[in-house]
Structure 1
Amino acid sequence: MTIRLRPHHLLCVLAYVGKGYSARFTANYDLVVQRIAEGEDIVIVGGPDDICAPLLGDAEPHCWRESVIERDRAAARDLSTLLGTPIDAGVSLSLESGRLKRMRAAFAERSIRGACAGCEWQEMCNAIAASGFVDVVLPTSRE
């Protein structure tokens, strides 16, 4: 199988520590991150993805809001520059150790965090990056 991720979630998984909108959301997120850690490929999607899935049954899921779509645009722009490859719908990639290290270093330096402006999780992610990503669920390398 392939994991479907929207561009800004490529940033979110870097600092994910097991917290989320609800227990159901977090349980799903844990499974998605486990699949990434196991080396499953990712395909970029334009809109709600595998992480969003538990929220899509809500009356007005925020996953479709213009602000979230703009986060995707900003993340795609920053990550395309960093990785030297387009981060557009349909593109496949893996988050192997070297790529994760590069992304986390840029995340900590805030050079790929344009999508994070105004995010409710921003302060938590700042602290996680400042700590050196010690409590994150997604390991930088596979054991």
Structure 2
Amino acid sequence: MINLRPHHGLCIQHFIGKGYSKDFVENMRKTINLLESNENSKITLTVGVDKICSFCPNNQENTCLSGQKPESYDNQCLKLCNLKTGDILYWKDFKKKVQDNILKVNKLNEVCVDCEWLSICEAIYK
């Protein structure tokens, strides 16, 4: 079972090997490999620091220095996917919900409105 911020379901699907640091990128790769290598991987949706946050420079003592920004991404992702914090589901099912309710209907900007990485994600669709 992996704790996962809902908006990281978007980050994972757009990951191209860039990030805050070498350690962050390596942790992201490991987390993605863990989720993708087993179709029965389960996640718990959490609005707060998760496995991916563990190597983020904004994570200071399990508190995000980015304030409400990532929490707003999480809440919007939950809303669009009709989920709630604490929900436990298979990674493959969450991934599909994110694809169907956000990516395929062009709502990425509604979730990641002021994300510093948004241009990388948008470039994938051009």
| Alignment TM-score, normalising by the size of structure 2 | 0.80
| Structure 2 alignment gaps of length 5 or more | none
Give distance in 2, aligned partners of 1:7 and 1:21: 19
Q: Which aligned segments of 4 or more residues in structure 1 are displaced greater than 4 angstroms?
A: none
Q: Tell me the equivalent position of 1:78.
A: 80
Contact 1:44-1:92 at 8 Å conserved across structures: yes
Q: Tell me the equivalent position of 1:122.
A: 118
* Amino acid in structure 2 at the alignment position of 1:127: A
Contact 2:7-2:73 at 8 Å conserved across structures: yes
Q: Tell me the equivalent position of 1:41.
A: 42
Q: Tell me the equivalent position of 1:26.
A: 25
* Segment drifting more, 23-32 vs 6-15: 6-15
| Shift, 1:113, TM fit | 4.2
Q: Which secondary structure does the structure 1 equivalent of 2:91 belong to? A: coil
Q: Which of the two has greater strand per residue?
A: 2
| Alignment TM-score, normalising by the size of structure 1 | 0.72
| Structure 1 residues 109 and 127: CA distance shift in structure 2, 3 A | farther
Give distance in 2, aligned partners of 1:90 and 1:24: 27
Contact 1:62-1:68 at 8 Å conserved across structures: no
Give distance in 2, aligned partners of 1:38 and 1:5: 16
| Shift, 1:14, TM fit | 1.4
| Shift, 1:92, TM fit | 1.0
Q: Tell me the equivalent position of 1:141.
A: none
| Shift, 1:111, TM fit | 2.8
The 5 Å alignment of 1:49-64 reads 49-55=50-56, 56-57=59-60, 61-62=64-65
Kindly report the root-mean-square deviation, in angstroms, between the aligned alpha carbons of the 2 structures. Answer: 2.3
| Shift, 1:19, TM fit | 1.1
| Structure 1 residues 41 and 110: CA distance shift in structure 2, 3 A | same
| Structure 1 alignment gaps of length 5 or more | 81-85, 132-143
Give distance in 2, aligned partners of 1:99 and 1:68: 18
Give distance in 1, aligned partners of 2:91 and 2:51: 16
| Shift, 1:62, TM fit | 3.1
Give distance in 2, aligned partners of 1:73 and 1:102: 15
* Amino acid in structure 2 at the alignment position of 1:42: I
